[in-house]
Structure 1
Amino acid sequence: MSERDFRLLSTDELLSAVVGDVMEIRVLENVVMQKIAELERRGAASELGYKNVAHVLRHAVRWDLKTARQWVARAELVSRKLTPSGAVLEPELPATAAAVTEGVLSGEHISAVAEVMKALPPEAEQPVVEFAREHEPSAVRAFGKELAYRLYQQDAEPVEADPQPPLNRLRMEWKGDQLEVSARLDKVTGAKFEAMIDPLAKPRPTTAEEGPDPRSRAEREGDAFADLIDLVLRADRLPEHGGEPVTLTLTMAYQDLAEQTGFATLDNRDRIPATLVRRLACNAGVIPVVLGGRSEQTNIGRKTRTFPASIRRLLVARDQGCSFPGCDRPPKHCDAHHVRFWSQGGETSVENAALLCRHHHTLIHQSEWEVRLLNGTPTFIPPAWLDPARTPRTNTTTHPGHRLTA
């Protein structure tokens, strides 16, 4: 089909053609990996005078050595092996190999699955691959990390006889007319610092006079640090996240908190042991969230479009970040979205809200994706061009239990 013929296709037809082409490419890539595995089996590198097959491929197809090594490693994972006695062994990742044969997984997916399976039992490969069929490799890594935690969360928590003090370090050194600062902070302190810096480091709005913000991320964060120092000196107002003063939300079951067992989840999804949570729970800048607490305001009807801090805290505890399938953006990067749009009569309430990062918030408003709340879980209906059956999806990165039982 010529370029001119492409112009005759509708957007859905053109996108479907791209998806089909990519699947064909992936199928062909699998064939290439099987051939690479055969080169490895027959000792082709020694036969040709090379150190290994990756170095052979580096010259044969002009790959960078890093790329060649990736292809060899992936070929090893999805190819059958032949023992000296002639017996055929299944691939190291059999479920992954089957999916790759269908063309639904890329080489990056293979690497992601292999990475997460290092911390998981063999029977976990199938659910990981099922997740990979619908999500990008970065989401697979996040899903695998969460699944590993859920599989082993019943293991006995290590007990420290003499808890070590936090590893907080700060170095300051004047170099000419500039003070060079470097720091290393523990999880909790680091999360607090990140929560204060993040809203101040956002790019300045694009204007007709100045255009987009020209600063790099490092420059924006440096300026934010300077702004934070000024705010601390004034000590009358701190920056906000989602319309609420900077706080650190710790989410865990009340029984676990009372019994000092298990872990709590920070805003950035890192986990800290219950023993530390009990010490933090008394701090003014920390909010322990107990879902279903009667003192929290959960519905203000049509009184205002903006979500108050009390509702946002409950959304943070429930959604744990962007609720869009596969997204791992933390709560501080998220807006509260009206599931039934405010403009269509939707109320400002927990039952009509979902946390979405700015990117996915815009996507929901501008595309055919739909979001509903089913049993209190934000559930997303994909466009027909992506999934003709429009099968509902949830963010199993933050809520793996919705897909499988660990």
Structure 2
Amino acid sequence: MLRRIVGKAMEIRAGEHELMEMIAELDRRGAASELGYKDLPYVLKHAVRWDRTVAKQWVENAALLSAEITPTGAELAPKLPATASAAAEGALSVEHVKVVAEVMKKLPAEAEASVVDFAREHEPSAVRSFGRELAYRLYQDDPEPRDSDPAPQVNDLTLDWRGDLLKVSGTLDKITGAKFEALIDPLAKPRPTTPGEGPDPRTRTQRQGDAFAELIDLMLRADQMPEHGGEPVTLTLTMRYDDLAAQVGAATLDTRERVSADQVRQLACSAGIIPLVLGTQSQPLDVGRKARTFTAGIRRLLVTRDRGCAFPGCDRHPKHCDAHHIQHWADGGATSVDNGVLLCRHHHRLIHHSGWTVKMANGIPIFTPPKWLDPDRRPRRNLIHAF
């Protein structure tokens, strides 16, 4: 039944591509003007009963995927030829096409094939993350202006008493915001489900509000600050040492936000620097069979290697991930970097209860899908974090 659903979805997508070709032909013929309309999206709005924003997106996608005809009658290739080919096969949905077009605005034409290959196996949101990372890596070595003054930090806080309640609102710069988020996150986790109370009924904003209140209490007894991921709350930045010394490039936070080298050097003046050197004695790489849980040092190395959930296409940040034993500890697996992988809660559960498997290959986590998803069971990796 599931294979039939996949086949039917591909038929629908191929039909969508055919529909886009028809829309492009209407646009070439000037149908809107002939019918007395301002533009083709307005025609489709009335003819197909689409919202104008939806109709406009279909017209824009059609223009990208269809061949153009010059005034002399010559046919030009589509603006996104690889995308057009994949859409015609039924491999890409309308939403895929929209996202590919969006990310290609910041990428050279030769990158389209890589983006489309990724889109064939992942959902649109993952394609957007992949395109963003690819654009950064392609242009990260471009020269940066050195003569402009750095933008001033923006930190403001408003306290407004309204009867018995204090309304707090503010804006924090990137570094301060990341520190604050790192403090709030472990305190804002949902309470465990219990037979008596059931699941935590609080919304995310309510949990974060309660976490803020708890943080205030913790600051009054600073020696009792919470741990997160097995270690005291820490702001982790990953950067090549040579770049830091030369004040070029950028560091990456656990959230994958990038911080300039100047800001990193400023942080280094007031914060400890933890060296992450794979294969040396600076951090423990293997704690043997005695410890079941991953130590702070090993988790830090997993964060440096995996940069978030290692499952293909997932863009969850390290702070939302668990360290998973590839060979289960109870089955003799070591608590080590080579036997560990970062997985978000959803994909951690999936690895334990589905046909997906994970193993290490050349120091990289490689995932194999179940047969119902890919009869050939071709290995996959997370390319979003692979740069």
Per-residue Cα deviation, 1:35-54 (whole angstroms, up to 9, x for no partner)? 11111111111222222111
Q: Contact 2:311–2:367 at 8 Å: present in 1 too?
A: yes
State how far apart, in whole Å, the 2-side matches of 1:18 and 1:369 are: 20
Measured on the aligned residues, the alpha-carbon RMSD in Å equals 1.5
State how far apart, in whole Å, the 2-side matches of 1:324 and 1:181 are: 38
Q: Contact 1:247–1:287 at 8 Å: present in 2 too?
A: no
1:156 and 2:146 correspond: no
**Percent identity for Structure 1 against Structure 2:** 65
Per-residue Cα deviation, 1:100-142 (whole angstroms, up to 9, x for no partner)? 0000001111011111111111111011101111111111111
Q: Contact 1:105–1:132 at 8 Å: present in 2 too?
A: yes
Deviates more, 1:356-365 or 1:168-177: 168-177
Q: Contact 1:379–1:394 at 8 Å: present in 2 too?
A: yes
Aligned counterpart for 2:38 among listed residues 51, 68, 77: 51
One-letter amino acid of the structure 1 residue matched with residue 132 of structure 2: K
> Corresponding residue for 2:263?
276
Deviates more, 1:282-291 or 1:30-39: 282-291
Query: Please, what TM-score do these two structures have when normalized by structure 2?
Result: 0.96
State how far apart, in whole Å, the 1-side matches of 2:70 and 2:165 are: 64
1:144–1:61: structure 2 CA closer, same or farther, 3 Å change rule? same
Aligned counterpart for 1:120 among listed residues 96, 99, 107: 107
Query: Please, what TM-score do these two structures have when normalized by structure 1?
Result: 0.92
One-letter amino acid of the structure 1 residue matched with residue 17 of structure 2: N
1:140 and 2:127 correspond: yes
Distance apart, 1:293 and its partner CA:
4.2
Per-residue Cα deviation, 1:297-318 (whole angstroms, up to 9, x for no partner)? 1101111110010101111111
Distance apart, 1:382 and its partner CA:
1.0
Aligned counterpart for 2:26 among listed residues 39, 62, 81: 39
> Corresponding residue for 2:220?
233
Q: Contact 1:254–1:290 at 8 Å: present in 2 too?
A: no
Deviates more, 1:165-174 or 1:351-360: 165-174
Distance apart, 1:153 and its partner CA:
1.5
Gaps of 5+ in 2: none
State how far apart, in whole Å, the 1-side matches of 2:47 and 2:382 are: 43
> Corresponding residue for 1:5?
none
> Corresponding residue for 2:10?
23
> Corresponding residue for 2:251?
264
> Corresponding residue for 2:372?
385
Distance apart, 1:366 and its partner CA:
0.5
One-letter amino acid of the structure 1 residue matched with residue 257 of structure 2: D
Aligned counterpart for 2:235 among listed residues 234, 239, 248: 248
Per-residue Cα deviation, 1:360-390 (whole angstroms, up to 9, x for no partner)? 1110011111111111111111111111111
1:235–1:99: structure 2 CA closer, same or farther, 3 Å change rule? same
State how far apart, in whole Å, the 2-side matches of 1:265 and 1:288 are: 15
Tell me the secondary structure at the aligned position of residue 264 of structure 1.
Answer: strand
One-letter amino acid of the structure 2 residue matched with residue 212 of structure 1: P
Q: Contact 1:116–1:144 at 8 Å: present in 2 too?
A: yes
> Corresponding residue for 1:8?
none
Distance apart, 1:214 and its partner CA:
2.1
Tell me the secondary structure at the aligned position of residue 165 of structure 1.
Answer: coil
Q: Contact 1:248–1:285 at 8 Å: present in 2 too?
A: no
> Corresponding residue for 1:307?
294
1:293–1:185: structure 2 CA closer, same or farther, 3 Å change rule? farther
One-letter amino acid of the structure 2 residue matched with residue 163 of structure 1: P
Per-residue Cα deviation, 1:340-374 (whole angstroms, up to 9, x for no partner)? 11121100001110111011111001111111111
State how far apart, in whole Å, the 1-side matches of 2:378 and 2:122 are: 14
Distance apart, 1:260 and its partner CA:
2.1
Q: Contact 2:314–2:384 at 8 Å: present in 1 too?
A: yes
Aligned length in residues: 387
Distance apart, 1:152 and its partner CA:
0.9
State how far apart, in whole Å, the 1-side matches of 2:44 and 2:151 are: 50
